[in-house]
A and B are shown apart, each in its own frame.
Chain A
Amino acid sequence: MYAVACAAAATVLVASGLAYFVLDNLRGLGSSHAIGNAPKSTDGATNILLIGLDSRKDQNGDPLPNAILRQLHAGSARGVNEEGVGGYNTNTLILLHVPNDGGKATAFSIPRDDYVDYADAVGPQQHGKIKEAYGVTKAFTEQKLMARGVHDKHALEHDGREAARRSTISTVRKLLGVPIDHFAEINLAGFYDLATTLGGVDVCLKHPVQDHYSGADFPAGRQHLNGSQALAFVRQRHGLPNGDLDRTHRQQAFLASVTHKLKQDGIFGDLGRMRGLLKVARKDVVMDAEWDVLGFAQQARSLTGGNVEFHTLPIEGFGTRNRQSVNLVDPDKIRAMVHDTLDPPKQAPAPSASGSGAKTTVDVLNGGGHAGLAAKVAGALSQGGYATGKVANTAPSARTTVRYGGQDGADGPDGADAKKIAKLFGVKAVADPSLPAGTVRVVLGPAAVVPSLGGGGGSAPKPTATLPTTGAQGGAVKGGGIPCVD
């Protein structure tokens, strides 16, 4: 009896020591004070900004080892140091909203090329792609510090990154109009290490892909990827129908797979396996100092149960700013959408006005072979007030065609919209009974270009509070399993 009591006491003491060690490590993860004193969520929910940094450097500003860079298809240490390969772009920006009641978590991916006003940015550049707020601010902060006589490389890196995080967080907060309670920043090696520590992740592709830039070479269907392959999976953007926007879906699918794996393997209840994740977190992740991660894990039952839905924020079209291709966005519309998704209005929103009372849906199919053109055309038409329908590649087409559905002929609302669209491409609209009413289908030929609708139709869409479910942004990627993506 006494021996049993001693063994039980020793077990409790050892378990307690292990828990103490793990929690002490978790508390040590938060090292950044960039979150600042801005207002926090007041309803008990938690908003977390996930920042994926495309940097080939570690937290001290030293390039990652060559062996790791080779694994990541991310250049060489010499390229990183001398040619500035990689830079400091925040290629992944995801706002994760976790409700207090354990209900469904919602994530919003912000396309990296969205052209926005920066907030808290240091230096003269106050507008640009959202992914560049980090790097621009870091560079100017370092210049300022050097002018003040600071030359220690690690101090410059640390202070530059803190200012960069502050700017990125403030810029996202301003764009989305919601408080940001915590953030976590992970670099390229972090994605690799995370997937490796989990023993790889399962993903599902709709089509086979091959891309030498990222190293992606995968068949269609569900498959198991190791760390290096997982990184290629989330980085590929060449050869995808919607380029960057499809990459965003890849990142969402990766996160859904990770949470699914955590749920399947029960890692959250396994302190031993948690240590492996802690090691990755200490090496590759920066979080804010105020974040009680274990308290969050208790709150985030929805995440560990896979009950999470990923959305991609809408863009209004494409444009050129400072000789760069950018995504054009409507911040008011984005704020309304985010607000209404997180806190749905009690009454259904009024239908958007457009001639007949309902917007014409435009399918854009790329038969011309120019990668990404369908998404660009769909974006331009969306800017002109048309609802975006199916956007995809199709069989090669010698010329651009515009067809429309409905029974009311060329003088009806569908025919009228189709005529306007056809005029943009210099072709004639043709009725197609096989298409549903209210739908116009554009098949792009090799000579097609992105049409300009700059204010011509007077039918620019008013902000609505519905996230797009079709088009280049696609619908929601749902957690709780292995979602199939392009």
Chain B
Amino acid sequence: MLTGFGAGALLCGVTLAGALVDGLGRGGPGLVLGASLVAGSVLAVALVNARRVRLVLPMPPLAYAVAAAVAGLLGDTGSARGGVGLATAVSRWLSAGFVAMATATLLVAAVAIVRATTAR
């Protein structure tokens, strides 16, 4: 079983791998990043020590924020110049991850509830 730190490292690692694929594909945050986020979140909440499961709850949005910045700066830098460019680019990056973030957070919450209940 993983510690809270281990679960975080696993989630961030998988998500960053997805970010690298999207970013190096010159498209900014996209489908691979979203799928990696969901997969990494489920793995992290499934493998973390049952007593540390609540620690995973806030991780998906935070992991996405970091990974989206990486993917965006790697693959979508051209559109992020200047104040307006940066604001619209960040809006686009955030928007692109909403469904994945919401899905990952809901799945983490569901698995956390099940694991916390069954562990008692």
Q: A-side interface residues toward B, CB under 8 Å? A: 2, 5-6, 8-10, 12-13, 15-17, 19-20, 22-24, 102, 266, 268-269, 271, 294-295, 297-299, 301, 304-305
Interface presence of B32 (CB below 8 A): no
For A2, the closest partner residue in chain B by CB is B55
State the Cβ distance, A11 to closest chain B Cβ, in Å: 8
Of B62, B82, B94, B99, which one neighbours A8 at CB under 8 angstroms? B62
**A266 contacts which chain B residues (CB < 8 A)?**
83
State the Cβ distance, A306 to closest chain B Cβ, in Å: 12
Of A8, A9, A19, A24, which one neighbours B92 at CB under 8 angstroms? A19
Interface presence of B49 (CB below 8 A): no
Q: How many residues of B contact A (CB 8 A)?
A: 29
Interface residues of B in 22-45 (CB under 8 A from A): none
Most A CB within 10 A of own CB, among B54, B65, B88, B97: B88
Interface presence of B98 (CB below 8 A): yes
- Establish whether residues B85 and A298, one from each chain, have CB atoms under 8 Å apart when the complex forms: yes
For B65, the closest partner residue in chain A by CB is A12
**B92 contacts which chain A residues (CB < 8 A)?**
19, 23, 294
Quick one: given A2-B55, A16-B101, A301-B84, are A294 and B91 in contact (CB under 8 Å)?
yes
Of A102, A268, A305, which one neighbours B88 at CB under 8 angstroms? A268
**B6 contacts which chain A residues (CB < 8 A)?**
none
Q: Interface on chain B toward A: helix, strand, loop, or mixed SS?
A: helix
Known: A6-B58, A9-B105, A304-B84. 18 other contacts (CB 8 A): A5-B58, A5-B59, A9-B57, A9-B60, A10-B58, A12-B62, A13-B102, A13-B105, A15-B94, A16-B64, A17-B98, A19-B91, A23-B92, A268-B84, A297-B88, A298-B84, A298-B85, A301-B84
Quick one: given A6-B58, A9-B60, A12-B61, are A301 and B81 in contact (CB under 8 Å)?
yes
State the Cβ distance, B110 to closest chain A Cβ, in Å: 16
Interface presence of B50 (CB below 8 A): no
State the Cβ distance, B67 to closest chain A Cβ, in Å: 12
Q: List 25 A-B contacts (CB under 8 A).
A: A2-B55, A6-B57, A8-B58, A8-B61, A9-B60, A10-B61, A12-B65, A13-B61, A13-B98, A16-B94, A16-B97, A16-B101, A17-B102, A19-B91, A19-B98, A22-B91, A23-B92, A102-B81, A266-B83, A294-B91, A295-B79, A298-B84, A298-B88, A301-B85, A304-B84
**B59 contacts which chain A residues (CB < 8 A)?**
5, 9
Give the distance in Å from the alpha carbon of A271 to the alpha carbon of B95 in the complex: 12
- Establish whether residues A269 and B58, one from each chain, have CB atoms under 8 Å apart when the complex forms: no
The 6 closest A-B pairs by CB, nearest first: A9-B58, A269-B87, A20-B98, A19-B95, A12-B61, A9-B61
State the Cβ distance, A466 to closest chain B Cβ, in Å: 32
Interface residues of B in 46-94 (CB under 8 A from A): 54-55, 57-62, 64-65, 79, 81-85, 87-89, 91-92, 94
For A15, the closest partner residue in chain B by CB is B94
Give the distance in Å from the alpha carbon of A301 to the alpha carbon of B59 in the complex: 35
**B82 contacts which chain A residues (CB < 8 A)?**
102, 301
- Establish whether residues A23 and B89, one from each chain, have CB atoms under 8 Å apart when the complex forms: no
**A301 contacts which chain B residues (CB < 8 A)?**
81-82, 84-85
- Establish whether residues A269 and B83, one from each chain, have CB atoms under 8 Å apart when the complex forms: yes
- Establish whether residues A297 and B95, one from each chain, have CB atoms under 8 Å apart when the complex forms: no
- Establish whether residues A23 and B102, one from each chain, have CB atoms under 8 Å apart when the complex forms: no
Give the distance in Å from the alpha carbon of A298 to the alpha carbon of B58 in the complex: 31
Quick one: given A12-B62, A13-B61, are A294 and B101 in contact (CB under 8 Å)?
no
**B65 contacts which chain A residues (CB < 8 A)?**
12
State the Cβ distance, A65 to closest chain B Cβ, in Å: 34
Most A CB within 10 A of own CB, among B54, B62, B64, B84: B84
For B4, the closest partner residue in chain A by CB is A2
Give the distance in Å from the alpha carbon of A8 to the alpha carbon of B61 in the complex: 8
Most B CB within 10 A of own CB, among A2, A19, A298: A298
- Establish whether residues B91 and A23, one from each chain, have CB atoms under 8 Å apart when the complex forms: yes
**A16 contacts which chain B residues (CB < 8 A)?**
61, 64, 94-95, 97-98, 101
**B94 contacts which chain A residues (CB < 8 A)?**
12, 15-16, 19-20
Quick one: given A294-B91, A298-B88, are A12 and B81 in contact (CB under 8 Å)?
no
State the Cβ distance, B44 to closest chain A Cβ, in Å: 14
State the Cβ distance, B59 to closest chain A Cβ, in Å: 7
**B84 contacts which chain A residues (CB < 8 A)?**
268-269, 297-298, 301, 304-305
Quick one: given A295-B79, A297-B84, A301-B81, are A271 and B91 in contact (CB under 8 Å)?
yes
For A4, the closest partner residue in chain B by CB is B58
**A102 contacts which chain B residues (CB < 8 A)?**
81-82
State the Cβ distance, A389 to closest chain B Cβ, in Å: 40
State the Cβ distance, A24 to closest chain B Cβ, in Å: 8
**B85 contacts which chain A residues (CB < 8 A)?**
298, 301
